[in-house]
Structure 1
Amino acid sequence: MLSSMTGFGEATCTENGMTVHVEVRSVNNRHLKLNCRLPEGYASLEPKLDSVVRQFARRGSLQLALMIDRESESENGRLNEGVLIQYYHQLKDVTKKLGIMHDPRLDSLLVIPGVVEEPGYTPRDVDNEWPLIEKATLQAGERFAEMRRSEGAAMSADLRTNCQSIAGELAKIEARAPSVIVAYEKRLLERVNSLLAEHELKVQPSDIVREVGIYADRSDISEEVVRLKSHLEQFDQIMSSKESAGRKLDFLIQELFREVNTIGSKANDAEIARNVVEIKTVIERLREMVQNIE
């Protein structure tokens, strides 16, 4: 089954007041390339995350974002009592000088910068937190892989449709090829007879047969047709396999191009030339799609 190299998956896991959110997204790349966006203090987890990612991705440029939140850290900041007392006495002195007869309000003091320190996150034991992070990463990876497979299934149907188009054009070429030899023999006989009549010469039938045989051998495309059919069968088999298929399909597309180019150069016929152009157009569509297959 084919998998696309573009995908997205996310998951959130909560345990003991700790919430872990993981997002995984990817675009196509010849190799597997992982870029992690981690909270401060979590860089040491990159090798472990790389190992987990390789369980659900073989190729592609992946971005993994890890976000961590704790209820205890998000509820309140830390009160800086020294700063609060200092501001209180300063404001009390100012109100006394201005003749204001009431003390500063506490809620007004709490909004002054520095009185309440925002909770900065300091990692605890990262190794103890890893099981929950791994769980969220695997869940995000499952959803990521499912999206890739879903898109791959749609691409597989499109690829098979295009392969059928190639097979259809190839059948036309195969049916047309014998008539090309017959047409050449007819043209050759007409030219020879015209020259013979003009110069009152004679030619042995065996010479005509030999010339036609040479042309037929030079224009024979049966081997190329057989190889093209074989490549199309391999293409279908690879799409149905469970292994990574992108590179194999890309190689087969190169072989398809090579064989159809040979047919185009060998078959000196306008109708076959049109079939060859159509096949090349379809192969180019295959090439574009295969670039996004894992």
Structure 2
Amino acid sequence: MTGFGDARNQNERLSVGVEVRTVNNRYLKLMIRCPDAYAALEGEIEKVVRESISRGTFSATIRVDRVGVENQYQINRDVLQSYWRQLNQAAESLHAAVHPQLEKLLQLPGVISEETYSNSNPHDDWPLIKETLNVALAKLTDFRKTEGESMLRDLRLNAGIISDQLQQVIEIVPQVVANFRDRLLDRVRELLETTDVTVDSSDLIREVSIFSERCDINEEITRLRSHLEQFETFLQGESSQGRKLEFLSQEMFREINTIGAKANNVAIAHCVVEMKSAVEKIREVLQNVE
């Protein structure tokens, strides 16, 4: 589920800024960007994030500045030379010309360090960073809740379409066997009028019975109804339900597909098309649901 949140906080020593974003992903992927001096806090940061986010690609950018202290940037020559050497070695092995630009190399991780933090313990600054991070996460959650309410309406709308179309199928089902029986009788009458063939009534009953069994979709209807009821139950759940709903939508699609294959009726086929379309819309929405 997409979302955004930011926060700023300050005490007598520090100024902290945090921006957090989420985009759609079936799994949880975390990307944390913070000053090199605070790399030791990434484990703590991830722990806090996992308490709020369980699915999606999450990125956080954390900025920490010392109040009243001018930041002093230092080039790490060893790291810079390592990048330069590896780049030239790669170019030589590929027989390619390379013209590295210094300003590009300066943007690589570890080349520039801020001496402001060199004498500080990052864990001493964690309480303020954590507080600011939690505020940004709360804003992110509010953003996602607003989007979630919109997606909930879409999911219920499409589940309602499936339910309505299923009710139409239920009303049509008794006509399917009756129509087959009538068509079969009409063909038999035509045959009897043009030939001397005799047809036993038991043969007709057997054919109608075989057709009825082959086209019986009562089990699929019952299961699809059950899936729809469970779908609504999951929608009302308080915890993360995205994966359960995704699995349930796959089961609904399977039952609808079977109904279409077995029904042998144009009107039911039209209902099946509408139900499949609704399930596809549900699955699209569920890509964004945590």
TM-score under structure 2 length normalisation = 0.83
Q: Which has the larger radius of gyration?
A: 1
CA distance in 1, matches of 2:72, 2:154: 55
Q: Does 1:273 align with 2:269?
A: yes
8 Å CA contact 1:41, 1:123 repeated in 2: no
Q: Does 1:234 align with 2:230?
A: yes
Per-residue Cα deviation, 1:236-282 (whole angstroms, up to 9, x for no partner): 11111012111111101110111011001101111111111111111
Structure 2 CA distance for partners of 1:185 and 1:262, relative to 1, 3 Å: same
Structure 2 residue matching 1:8: 3-state secondary structure = strand
1:262 to 258, 265, 269: 258
Greater RCO between the two (CA within 8 Å, min separation 6)? 1
Mapping for residues 164-179 of structure 1, pairs under 5 Å: 164-179=160-175
CA distance in 2, matches of 1:241, 1:259: 24
The residue that corresponds to 1:247 in the other structure is: 243
In structure 2, stretches of 5+ residues that fail to align are 74-113
8 Å CA contact 1:73, 1:121 repeated in 2: no
1:32 to 28, 35, 57: 28
The residue that corresponds to 1:88 in the other structure is: none
Structure 2 CA distance for partners of 1:181 and 1:150, relative to 1, 3 Å: same
Structure 2 CA distance for partners of 1:124 and 1:176, relative to 1, 3 Å: same
Mapping for residues 1-294 of structure 1, pairs under 5 Å: 5-74=1-70, 120-122=116-118, 124-294=120-290
**CA-CA distance at 1:201 after TM superposition:** 2.2
Structure 2 CA distance for partners of 1:150 and 1:123, relative to 1, 3 Å: farther
**CA-CA distance at 1:12 after TM superposition:** 1.2
**Percent of aligned positions with the same letter in both sequences?**
43
Structure 2 CA distance for partners of 1:120 and 1:182, relative to 1, 3 Å: same
Structure 2 residue matching 1:11: 3-state secondary structure = strand
In structure 1, stretches of 5+ residues that fail to align are 78-117
RMSD (Å) for aligned C-alpha atoms: 1.8
CA distance in 1, matches of 2:146, 2:71: 41
Structure 2 residue matching 1:241: 3-state secondary structure = coil
Per-residue Cα deviation, 1:26-45 (whole angstroms, up to 9, x for no partner): 11112211111111211111
**CA-CA distance at 1:69 after TM superposition:** 1.8
